[in-house]
Structure 1
Amino acid sequence: MSKYATLVDFFVAAIEHGSYRAGDALPSLRRLCETHGVGMNTAKRAYYELERQGYVEALPRAGFRVAPGGAVPASANLAPLLPWGSPFVNPALFDGRALAQAFVRVQRRYPELLARHELLGLDALRRQLARRCHAEGMALDWDQLVITCGGMEALALAVQVVTHELAAPCLAVLTPAFPGLLGVLAQHGIATLALPVGLDGALDLAPLAQGLAEGRVHGIAVMANFQHPTGHCLSDAARDALWQLAERYDVPLIEDDAYRQLAFESPAPAPFKARDTAGRVLYCATFSKSLAPGYRVGWIAPGRYLDAVCRLKVSTTLASPLPNQMAIAELLADGGDPPGLRRLSQQLAERAAALRQGLAARLPPTVRLSRPQGGYFLWLEWDEGPDSQTLLAEAQAHGLHFAPGTLFHPDGAGRHALRLNLSYVEPAMQSAALDWLAAALGGSPIR
């Protein structure tokens, strides 16, 4: 391929994939020659060819830019997908004005903080979190908390500090489980003992008891409240039995309480951390689900593992960015709920009820639906029928996306299950998508 043709292909690909957008300036001819090692004539010929094809336009004495409407990104040719497979809450449900105003205020009021490192997090935010924990039955001092870069870092820190000295670490995980947790475990080569939790709340802890007794299982990872992806809470009986095993064998319990603020009915059930007097619970939480996903502010109360978490945090990310912590601390300063939080939970509860109703009217009785008590996910499972991974490709061709069930299991289970993100659902506007999904699972559209 000639040099000029190579240049043309280079810019066509960049424009079609959105690296350059309509109106963006392209490199000058001189810069193009220097960067790509071509002569001036080759550079001119490439730009003239791009202009001929309608990708760019020449500006008098101002070089070349991407032509308005001249390039259609490859992704634009795809039918827009209903983002029911997204792991993130619908951003349209957030009202970020109060937080944005708080962000501006603190930058103006405390500019000196931006020149400092708060290795374990902003003291003001940690104190506020400790007060909120006390209000929910968790006896935590503020200096026992570490601010993290979102809930994922909190989980990653917890997993690493409880397993790093073990030759063949294994953690018990309640399934279906948060894919982010499963990813961390796989990344660090940590084996898992899957403990399936049925939609009816059934949980067989005999394998866990045996694994702990034999020394094969070294800890437990649990999302007791508003489990991702079902939205369920563990029953009191299951909590008691699980806690008794953790106490009997004195093993760490990693608790992910990321969806606590999104309870459909208040108050949310007490976390395991409220029972903890020995420091065995590593409690992980985040503001990413309920307040500001883009701020990436989470935290961990690691109990007896505090020193290990601090060392690992400092040696990896050193510290979490202060401006976002300052804004959240400012927003929470009055001790009440963040503005818009109750409205967000109410909207999610309404959408959960509407989606369940829309699907229940269409699906056969062989398909079971979770009954979310909080969060923004709905879980479907069936015993026989299509594989959800195979079904996904066909769904995308019909403009629908979901998360296949295998993502939520470490052992290949979940082929007959899928997760929907209910925060994006408006059933009255999306009845065709519900009809298609129901038909694919053996149901019938509403006539």
Structure 2
Amino acid sequence: MKLYEQFAEELSALIRSGQLRAGERLPSVREARARRGVSASTVFMAYQLLERDGLVHARPQSGFYVSAQISAGTAAPASTAPRAEASEVAISELVFEVLRAARSDGIAPLGSAFPGPELFPLPQLAKATFAGLRGQDPQTIVDNLSPGNPRLREQIAMRYRLDGVQVQADEIVITNGALEALNAALQVLTRPGDTVVIESPAFYAALQAIERLKLKALEVHTDPVAGIDLDALREALSRHRVAACWLMPGFQNPLGSLMPEANKRALVALLAEHAVPLIEDDVYAELFFDRQRPRPAKASDSAGGVLHCGSFSKSLAPGYRLGWIAAGRYSQQVQRLTLMTTMSAALPAQMAVLNYLETGAYDRHLRRLRTALRARMEAALATIEASFPQGTHVSRPRGGYFLWLALPPGGDAMALHRVALRERIGIAPGQIFSPDHRFSHCIRINCGHSGSIVLPALQRLGALTHALLREST
């Protein structure tokens, strides 16, 4: 073991044992060098190793500090048990009702879909927009129509390849956010009346897309930690004629589950065996807390049957609405569909993100973003443990910024949603994550906003939950 690795291992043990607590400042490089009798580079490399492991984070002009750790704490919610039959979906009105209320001015955005705007490099992106458009050749306006700017597509393809995923630039189609990519994939793969496999609970936008296209949803048992149950999926595929699967193997919304890599490989093999394409919704891929980004299911796809959808909206530029799809053997069909519908993603957004990526600043931003989100999640978990009634179960994701809470018996998510709104707190009740409005005792919490907003709202939400439970008994 090298000197810097040995030093990092000793500090790691102190942090994991609690002897160094969250928020404590590590000795400066100069102090540590003097105490240990090692070079400054040894200390700095040790701190960098700890930072990559998510154990410490750097504060500009201040030093390195111990990061909050995701602890065992309250038990995770139980696995789901959906019904075994495909069903029509009628969810949109309820979703619109919830989202409309949560967008009102002055609402604590615990039910929103995006983390706090202060986490994103918006001034730098604005400069990148002007730089990208200055002196633009008119011909490039045509070049940036679907499938999108060639340099941007190559940048995205390069990031795939750095992670060991063999994706070529000509497979990628740039879209107006990941949602356009996901909807285009679903439209290419299905016809009205077809059955689509989804997780249980499922992202409400997937349910809305299934409803809009007059498809049927087949929910499959999903574990809050490891994701969709492959045995249950195998059984579903043997009993039903399935046109496509829309799944989130990485940091699933709303559960936060992460499929192990071996399960992802088995998933791709199982679907290939049944000739069922996979729409892989991977918009939270960059928001991991461990040392390395989890490899997507797409990494195991040799037949082009995985349509991998990503986005910069959750990791870099929410309002720019820029996503993409690596559509495998369906790339040309997706490209034609986008040309017939939205034509292309906006040129300024493409140029802004391209120029920002080419500066090399993206990965530095991501490291800061992951550290902030992890700290905010840990603070939210601690507040939930202290504020909510005994018997509340909460997920403990290894990335992202959503928490899935199962309230104790008698808990009513819609009732909590309504009383919380009167207190200027927005939440996402569990009923919007199922075709038949199940999960009435569950809520999804966005903990990606500032602690000054989220923590008092969670404390009040816990008190409201206590009061509702008393009323129901």
Q: What TM-score do the two structures reach when normalised by structure 2? A: 0.72
Superimposed CA distance per residue, residues 2-40 of structure 1 (whole angstroms, 9 cap, x where no aligned partner):
xxxxxxxxxxxxxxxxxxxxxxxxxxxxxxxxxxxxxxx
Q: Does 1:157 align with 2:184?
A: yes
Matched, 1:352 2:347: no
Give the structure 1 partner of residue 393 of structure 2. 368
Contact 1:147/1:320 (<8 A) preserved: yes
Aligned to 1:440: 464
Give me the whole-angstrom Cα distance separating, in 2, the residues matched to 1:139 and 1:202: 24
Match for residue 279 of structure 1 among 304, 307, 316 = 304
Q: Which amino acid in 1 is paired with 2:154?
A: R
Secondary structure at 1:197 match in 2: strand
8 Å CA contact 1:367–1:381 kept in 2: the answer is yes
CA distance in 2, matches of 1:202, 1:259: 15
Q: Which runs of 5+ in 2 are unaligned?
A: 1-100, 469-473
Which residue of 198, 209, 224 maps to 2:223? 198
Q: 2:387 is paired with a residue of what secondary structure? A: coil
Contact 2:227 2:249 in 1 (8 A): no
Q: 1:241 Cα deviation (Å)?
A: 4.1
What is the rounded CA distance, in whole Å, between the counterparts of 1:308 and 1:149 in structure 2?
Answer: 17
Indicate the larger mover: 432-441 or 247-256.
Answer: 432-441
1:120 is aligned to 147
Contact kept? 1:273, 1:283, Cα under 8 Å: yes
**Contact 1:84–1:425 at 8 Å: present in 2 too?**
no
Aligned residue in 2 for 1:244: 269
Task: Note the C-alpha offset of 1:105.
Answer: 1.0
Moved more, 411-420 or 215-224: 215-224
Q: How far, CA to CA, are the matches of 2:247 and 2:139 in structure 1?
A: 36
Compare 154-163 and 434-443 and name the one that shifted more.
434-443
Q: Which amino acid aligns with 2:280?
A: E
C-alpha distance 162-97 of structure 1, shift in aligned 2 (>3 A): same
Q: Does 1:99 align with 2:128?
A: no
CA distance in 1, matches of 2:407, 2:262: 26
Determine if contact 1:208/1:217 at 8 Å carries over to the other structure: no
Q: How does 1:293-312 map to 2 (within 5 A)?
A: 293-312=318-337
Match of 1:435, as an amino acid? Q
Q: Secondary structure at the match of 2:241?
A: coil
User: SS at the partner of 1:337?
Assistant: helix
Cα distance change on mapping 1:274 and 1:240 into 2, 3 Å: closer
Structure 1 residue 205 displacement after superposition:
3.8
C-alpha separation in 2, matches of 1:203 and 1:162: 21
> Structure 2: which amino acid aligns with 1:141?
Q
CA offset at residue 323 of structure 1?
1.9
Q: Contact (CA 8 Å) 2:174, 2:323: kept in 1 or not? A: yes
Report the counterpart of residue 6 of structure 1 in structure 2: none
- Spell out the pairing of 1:405-424 with structure 2 (5 A cutoff): 405-424=430-449
Corresponding position: 1:142 with 2:176: no
1:113-157 per-position Cα deviation (integer Å, ceiling 9, x unaligned): 564253210001011111111111211111111000111000001
Q: How far apart, CA to CA, are the structure 2 residues paired with 1:435 and 1:201?
A: 29
Query: In 2 relative to 1, CA 288–97 (structure 1 residues): closer, same or farther, beyond 3 Å?
Result: same
Shift of 1:353: 0.3
**1:140–1:200 CA distance, 2 compared to 1 (3 A):** closer
Q: Which has the higher contact order (CA 8 A, sep 6+)?
A: 2
Choose 1 or 2 for highest CA Rg. Answer: 1
Indicate if the aligned counterparts of 2:221 and 2:232 stay in contact, CA closer than 8 A.
Answer: no
- Partners of 1:385 and 1:368 in 2: how far apart? 14
Aligned counterparts, 1:222-261, within 5 A: 222-236=247-261, 238-261=263-286
Quote the offset at 1:210 in angstroms.
3.1
Residue 156 (structure 2) aligned to one of 115, 121, 129: 129
Is it true that 1:341 corresponds to 2:354 in the alignment?
no
Q: Quote the offset at 1:372 in angstroms.
A: 2.0
RMSD over aligned Cα atoms: 2.3
**Whole-angstrom CA distance in 2 between matches of 1:432 and 1:98:** 31
- 2:357 maps to what in 1? 332
User: 1:146 is paired with a residue of what secondary structure?
Assistant: strand
Q: Taking structure 1 as reference, are residues 430 and 371 closer, same or farther at Cα in structure 2, changes over 3 Å only?
A: closer
In structure 2, the residue corresponding to 1:332 is in which secondary structure?
A: helix
CA drift at 1:111: 4.3
Cα pair distance change 1:200/1:112, threshold 3 Å: closer
Once residues 159 and 203 of structure 1 are traced to their aligned partners in structure 2, the CA distance between those partners, rounded to angstroms, is 19
Deviation at 1:265, TM superposition (A): 2.5
In structure 1, what is the Cα distance between the partners aligned to 2:214 and 2:176? 23
TM-score by length of 1: 0.76
- Counterpart of 2:126, as a letter, is A
Equivalenced residues, count: 365
- Which stretches of structure 1, 4 residues or more, deviate above 6 A after TM superposition? none
**Could you tell me how far apart the structure 2 residues matched to 1:124 and 1:298 are?**
15
Aligned-partner Cα distance in 1 for 2:289–2:210: 30
Percent identity of paired positions between Structure 1 and Structure 2: 37
Amino acid at match of 1:103: T
Q: Per-residue CA shift, 1:357-383, capped at 9, x if unaligned?
A: 111123334111111211121110135
Contact 2:287-2:370 at 8 Å conserved across structures: yes
Q: Distance in 1 between matches of 2:199 and 2:263?
A: 11
Structure 2 residue matching 1:419: 3-state secondary structure: strand
8 Å contact from structure 1 (residues 385, 441) kept in 2? no
Secondary structure, counterpart of 1:278 in structure 2: coil
